[in-house]
Structure 1
Amino acid sequence: MLLIRPPGVYPPQGDTALLADCVRRESLDDSSRVLDLCTGTGAVALVAARSGARVTAVDLSARAVVTAWCNTRLHRRRIRLRRGDLLVPVTGRRFDLVTANPPYVPTASGIRSPGRGAALAWDAGADGRLVLDRICRTAPRVLASGGVLLVVQSALADVPATLAAMRRAGLRAGVAARRRQPFGPVLTARAALFEQLGLIRPGEREEELVVVRGVREH
């Protein structure tokens, strides 16, 4: 998919592709309501929109929202775009599918706030769960009965914790997809930190990406 991606906006990568593949497997039509959190370029939102679904896309970054707007025009898709912090721009609404590709890269132990600039798209606190935990706790509240939550993350950020958090929020949760890929530039630069934390073996330079799927059954 051809996408505009200026500097400072997270480029679609392996995690984007894995999440998009899972979206394609969902039963979406023109009656479906979809929310894409941390939309970045809007790549996953565009995949959902191709089904005819009514899609809303949210990002904290103003640059990302403008980029996603440009990409919706490029692909001639109607997507409602909002700038804001996760669910704040969609208060009171319900969705049949919520997707998220949030920041999930662990940082040095003393850093407990989101990144700045481009790093806002990947820095996620000492355990990589700064945004993941918020999504798992709050996103189930906006799911309609039978609604689905799809979240992609690295195994470096504790997949069992995501499963447990979704289940605490009342969802039936499981792993929908996995893939391994070489470290990109950000993870390569932090490989020594990950070795020190015991997240990877010495010399290991691959990560496992995982999509966790939660279903609100009632």
Structure 2
Amino acid sequence: MLFLKPPGVYSPQDDTSLLAESLGREPRQVAARVLDVGTGSGALALAAVRHGASRVTAVDVSLRAVLTARLNARLSRLPIEVLRGSLLDPVRGRHFELILANPPYVPAPQAHLPRRGAARAWDAGHDGRVVLDRICRDAPALLAPSGVLLLVHSALCGVESTLDRLRESGLDAEVAERRRIPFGPVLRARAAYLEGRGLIRPGEEKEELVVIRAIRSR
């Protein structure tokens, strides 16, 4: 099957695969209306359709990503709604049984988020939490009763911080998956910076990815 992954659009990687595996373990009735935040090429949105979702909405701030996700949906002959906008803004007031999120989470020397370029898909401020914290704050209001949020990120930006923020927002949150993977090109290039920040040990070459599963139980 042809799947477009043009330059400048985040291609499916280990975090995508880990989140897709977690999606596959969700009961099909959970995945009725699905939101994919930061869809990139649309890989997770299309996986949700294949998992049996009745309606899938994908959002990305990048116009190139939006066009790529739409084309991939057309090539796959699978129906997804793809909207352009920042995180959850385009779908405020709507509700979903399942929200998938693979946001930027890499700690960066710059405090601000990049406005353009490939780094917009991974750079997330000094602590890697600029986007994560917004999702933890805003996603609970979009979950239907008993709705589930599946959120993937690196342990470098604080697993307990994510759990705490989601619980403060009224969700029951836990770590559903953990996986250690070799550093990719971005972390390899940033190893000295991360060492200097005390985020990795000298010579460390692997990071831990986690999937947080949070459910709206009330």
TM-score bracket relative to the smaller structure: over 0.9
Residue number in structure 2 paired with 1:93: 94
What is the distance in 2 between the residues matched to 1:204 and 1:3? Answer: 34
TM-score normalised per structure 1: 0.96
- CA gap of 1:26–1:84, structure 2 versus 1, over 3 A, is same
Q: How does 1:36-185 map to 2 (within 5 A)?
A: 36-53=36-53, 54-108=55-109, 111-115=110-114, 116-185=116-185
TM-score normalised per structure 2: 0.96
The superposition leaves residues 125-174 of structure 1 with CA deviations (integer Å, 9 ceiling, x where unpaired) of: 00000100000010011000000001000011111100001000000000
Flag as ranges the 4+ runs of structure 1 deviating above 4 A.
Answer: none
What is the distance in 1 between the residues matched to 2:194 and 2:111? Answer: 17
> What is the DSSP-based 3-state SS (H/G/I as helix, E as strand, rest coil) of the residue aligned with 1:22?
helix
What is the distance in 2 between the residues matched to 1:145 and 1:32? Answer: 12
Number of matched residues?
216
What is the distance in 1 between the residues matched to 2:10 and 2:88? Answer: 20
Contact 1:150–1:212 (8 Å) recurs in 2 = yes
Contact 1:149–1:214 (8 Å) recurs in 2 = yes
Residue number in structure 2 paired with 1:20: 20
> Aligned-pair distance for 1:75?
1.1
- CA gap of 1:79–1:136, structure 2 versus 1, over 3 A, is same
**Identity percentage of aligned residues:** 61
In structure 1, stretches of 5+ residues that fail to align are none
The superposition leaves residues 22-45 of structure 1 with CA deviations (integer Å, 9 ceiling, x where unpaired) of: 011111259710000000011111
Tell me which amino acid in the other structure corresponds to 1:34: V
Q: How does 1:24-35 map to 2 (within 5 A)?
A: 24-29=24-29, 32-35=32-35
What is the distance in 2 between the residues matched to 1:22 and 1:52? Answer: 14
Contact 1:33–1:96 (8 Å) recurs in 2 = yes
> Aligned-pair distance for 1:2?
5.0
> Aligned-pair distance for 1:117?
1.0
Contact 1:30–1:51 (8 Å) recurs in 2 = no
Taking only aligned residues, the RMSD between alpha carbons, in angstroms, comes to 1.3
Tell me which amino acid in the other structure corresponds to 1:64: A
